[in-house]
């Protein structure tokens, strides 16, 4: 079993932030903790730090497994970057994307170009998504250099 890269946890914590009370994200989805979503989260959901951390770790693992099913062979920083994309936008978006086709082809500069396109939420460019995609691109480039 491939371990969850620590860089994925870092990206999630940094870009999702921590909210103890459920809120509607820019896409209109009920969210709590470190960006967790699901049928168990809605108005009135309140978590402790431990609950948020445990859920983030479980969700990150789920997205690592899902990402590896869609993009076999990813490891380390590349896995962290693509799994973070999936954590943020969902495995369905990754599955049908040109981004995935570029990953599968090993076209890493094109992967970076594709990541940079995914910066919209609610129909507008969101500065936080721009920064998140840049962080994912940095990890890809760091993997290429090392």
Tell me which residues are annotated as active site: 16
SS3 string of the chain?
CCCCCHHHHHHHHHHHCCEEEEEECCCCCEEEECCEECCCCCCCCECCHHHHHHHHHHHHHHHHHHHHHHCCCCCHHHHHHHHHHHHHHCHHHHHCCHHHHHHHHCCHHHHHHHHCCCCEECCEECHHHHHHHHHHHHHHHHHHHC
């Amino acid at each position: 079993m491939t371990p969850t890269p620590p860089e994925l946890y870092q990206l999630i914590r940094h870009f999702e932030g921590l909210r103890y009370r459920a809120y509607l994200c820019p896409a209109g989805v009920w969210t709590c903790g470190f960006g967790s979503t699901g049928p168990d989260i809605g108005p009135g959901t309140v978590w402790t730090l431990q609950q948020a951390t445990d859920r983030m770790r479980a969700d990150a693992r789920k997205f690592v497994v899902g990402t590896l099913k869609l993009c076999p062979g990813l490891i380390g920083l590349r896995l962290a970057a693509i799994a973070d994309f999936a954590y943020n936008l969902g495995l369905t978006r990754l599955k049908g994307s040109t981004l995935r086709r570029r990953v599968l082809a090993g076209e890493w500069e094109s992967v970076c170009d594709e990541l940079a396109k995914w910066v919209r939420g609610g129909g507008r460019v969101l500065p936080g998504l721009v920064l998140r995609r840049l962080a994912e691109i940095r990890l890809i480039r760091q993997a290429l250099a090392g």
